[in-house]
Chains A and B, each alone.
Chain A
Amino acid sequence: MSHRELDDMLGTAWRKPPLVRRAWLRWTLLLGFAVYLVAAFATIDVDWGRVYEGLDRGWAFVMSFTRPDFVSRWSDIWSGLLESIVMTVAASVVGIAISIPIGLGAARNIAPLPVYVICRGLVAISRALQEIIVAILLVAIFGFGPLAGFLTLSFATIGFLSKLLAEDIEAMDRSQAEAIRASGAKWLQWINYGVQPQVMPRLVGLSMYRIDINFRESAILGLVGAGGIGATLNTAFDRYEYDTAAAILILIIGIVMALEYLSGVIRARVQ
């Protein structure tokens, strides 16, 4: 800032500089945003009468959290929950086991180009398709039941874990891996002693996080018939049994919290 400018500014109050410096761009952005908001709100037709009527039911639902009903549908809740957990465990094991080789293949610094392209393609496909759509297709192909859910979660795990594992491998320290190679190690020994120790803490952390996600996702797969607690929850909502629904939601939140705590402990230990 030159002296002239400073002299001009003396005695005047400081004003916060605008976020976008160019005035025309600032106004265009604001105007465009306002136009979009008006257009968006204009096309949402909200039936306020219906919303007002629903408020009572909403309040009833909130109140049902104070007296959740675990008992009257306990056998349904238990079998749904067990199926969710079983799906989560099996899908996490298979998904992690498959995503490790794919993650190795998707790391540019250790995989040759053709392998890299194929593995990255697989990861991209798995990431672009949402769980619920995959579940719909797999239910159509394999029939109702937890097998479709298990396959869906395994498939989704591959996209998530392989990508993050590959990124971690690409960011690893080359000199350690090279030292192992210089000792005359074969490819498998090179991966096992040069690469694996570097990425292991992060792999464990990501796997724990993915188990957490898998459990949360397994709660909705039941909506399309792929097994798990979702079907029970859907039925409870359809029958306006809010106290049972509240019980299921409390169980889901509790398990997710426990998993998050557990993964925090494990991550703190391996790092």
Chain B
Amino acid sequence: MPVLERGGAQVWQRRTMGERLVRWIGWLIGLVVFAVCWQKISESTTWFFVWDAPRIAGDIWDRATPPKWEYIARLGRPIWDTLNIATLGTMISLCLAVPVAFLAARNTTPSALFVRPVALLIIVATRSINSLIWALLLIAIIGPGVFAGVVAIAIRSIGFCAKLLYEAIEEIDATQVEAISATGASRWQVMAYGIVPQILPAFAGIAVFRWDINIRESTVLGLVGAGGIGLQLSSSLNVLAWPQVSLILLVILAAVVISEWVSAKVRGAII
């Protein structure tokens, strides 16, 4: 226990001198890094705009209130498109994520040396690129529209779903699998009766969880032209129609809250 002698009395201390020195240097380095980063940001900022920001914010607020309620009649179709992008995208991604997850899990992969790294690479690559970037890419390839949005959401979700699913597969109870294979079941029968029933609750939970996230992401995909309500948001922003923007933001907020509520309810019912 580090103790300091002070005037004959022993005072308890949490750390020794060396520990404190290391910590102090660590904090100093961190602070310097942060200061340098802040310097960089500050350099490329027009501070006049920042000092002016409260006035601009008030100005935008004045323009955006009250929301243009009658515009909601034109939002029905975009909301339906958004829902479709999220739902179909989630379904396609699940179909693709299941095989990837089985190839990536240590206990089910056919070859830990050759197949598993490829599956892990697919997971990392699809996960680390945002759905907006996928959408940007797909629009260049297959043209703007809802379809590009569906495919973008599908690709983006593969990594997320496959990662959670393969972790669930790795955690299964091996005795059940052994019991099924002891009856003389083939590889596929072991899969269907030994492994799948054990990961089904996790699978359903992942599906609903990802659907909730995808609703959020599909609301903004339209900003780059991939369909859904974001398209309306982008066109309203371009013509500075702030009352429409505020209404669309309210609708998006409502959609996000509702989807979160639905997903919480469904997950509560399953698990």
Chain A residues within CB distance 8 Å of chain B: 16, 36, 40-41, 43-47, 50-51, 54-55, 57-58, 61, 82-83, 86-87, 89-90, 93, 128-130, 132-133, 136-137, 140-143, 145-147, 150, 216-217, 219-220, 223-224, 227, 230, 233-234, 237, 240, 245, 249, 252-253, 256-257, 260
Contacts and interface: CB of A to CB of B under 8 A. Distances in A.
B53 interface: yes
Given A54-B143, A90-B38, A130-B220, A140 B125 contact: no
Interface of B: 30, 33-34, 37-38, 40-42, 44-46, 49-50, 53, 56-57, 60, 80-81, 84, 87-88, 124-125, 127-130, 132-133, 136-137, 140-143, 145-147, 150, 193, 216-217, 219-220, 223-224, 237, 249, 252-253, 256-257
A223 B217 CA distance: 15
Nearest to B124: A257
Contacts of B46: 143, 145
A61 B137 contact: yes
A140 B161 CA distance: 35
Given A44-B146, A145-B41, A216-B128, 7 more contacts: A40-B88, A44-B81, A54-B142, A86-B37, A89-B34, A219-B130, A253-B129
Contacts of A230: 133
Given A44-B150, A140-B56, A141-B56, A50 B129 contact: no
Contact of B257 (A61, A86, A128): A128
A219 B53 CA distance: 25
A136 B42 CA distance: 20
A140 B60 contact: yes
Judged by DSSP, the binding face of B is helix
Contacts of A130: 216-217, 219-220, 256
Contacts of A224: 223
23 contacts: A40-B87, A41-B88, A43-B80, A44-B150, A46-B147, A51-B142, A51-B143, A55-B141, A58-B142, A86-B41, A90-B38, A93-B30, A93-B34, A128-B253, A128-B256, A136-B237, A142-B49, A147-B45, A147-B50, A216-B128, A230-B133, A253-B128, A256-B128
